[in-house]
Amino acid sequence: MSSASPATTPETAHSARTAAKVFKRPRPPNEDKDHKRIKKNPVKPSPKPNDIYVTSRTNVRAYVARAVKLLEEMQEPYVTVHGLGKCIHKAVMVATSVERQSLGTLVLEVTTSTQRVVDELDYADEDLEPELDVRSSSAIHIKISRKPSTVTLERMLDQAARIKPGDEDEDKMDE
C-alpha cells in the first residue's frame, strides 16, 4: 500500500530551500574574515521631555526617580519608557516599579516593535574596507499615565486646597 503523503521531489526540495533563504538576513561578503563588530547607537526620533530611553549603564533607581519626578513634580500627563534589545527587561522593571510606587493610580500601555540597527564591521586585514551590517532588534515602549479618575480627584483636591476656610461662608451669604 502506498501512503497518501505527497512525495518530495528534488524540484520541491530546492524551491523550499530557496524560499527559506529569502527570509534570512543577507550577510556581508567578508563576514567570515577576522573582524571586529562595532555596534552603533540606533537612530532615535527627536526625544520629547517625557521620553526615557533605558540603557544598560544607568541604574534602575535613577530611571524610576526621573519618571516619578516627571509625573508628580513636572505634572506631565504621561511618561514613555523605551527599551531596545537587552534593555527590554530593565525598561519593564522601571515601569513596574513606578506603577508599584503609585499605589494603583497609574496605567501602563505596552507596545512592541522591531527596529533596524546598523553595525560596522572593521576587518583586521587593512586591505578590506569597513562594511555596514543591518540587523533587527526588538524594542518595547511603555506609556505610563494616570488613571482618568485619579486626574480629576487630584484637580478637585487642588481646588479645595486653594479655597480659604472663610471664603466658603462669604459665597453662601452672597446667594
What are 8-53's pLDDT values in tens digits?
A: 455 544 444 444 444 455 666 655 567 777 777 776 776 788 999 9
Instruction: Identify the domain containing residue 80 by its residue range.
Output: 28-163
Q: Is residue 2 part of a domain?
A: no
Q: Which three cell numbers stand for residue 134?
A: 543591518
Q: What angle do CA 104, 105, 108 make, to 5 degrees?
A: 80
Total number of domains constituting the chain: 1
Classify residue 175: in a domain, yes or no: no
Instruction: Report the CATH number at residue 75.
Output: 3.30.110.20
Q: Is residue 60 assigned to a domain?
A: yes
Q: Is residue 7 in some structural domain? A: no
Q: Give pTM, 2 decimals.
A: 0.64
Answer left, alpha or beta for residue 148, where phi above 0 means left and psi between -120 and 50 means alpha.
alpha
| Residue 170 belongs to some domain of the structure | no
Q: Is residue 9 part of a domain?
A: no
CA distance 24 to 51: 33
Give the pLDDT band (50/70/90) at residue 96: very high
Q: Which pairing describes strands 106-123 and 35-39: parallel, antiparallel, or unpaired?
A: antiparallel
* C-alpha–C-alpha distance, residues 164 and 85, integer Å: 53
- Has residue 172 been placed in a domain? no
* Percent of residues, the chain, with pLDDT higher than 70: 65
Q: Give the position of cell 523550499.
A: 16
d(CA 38, CA 8): 44
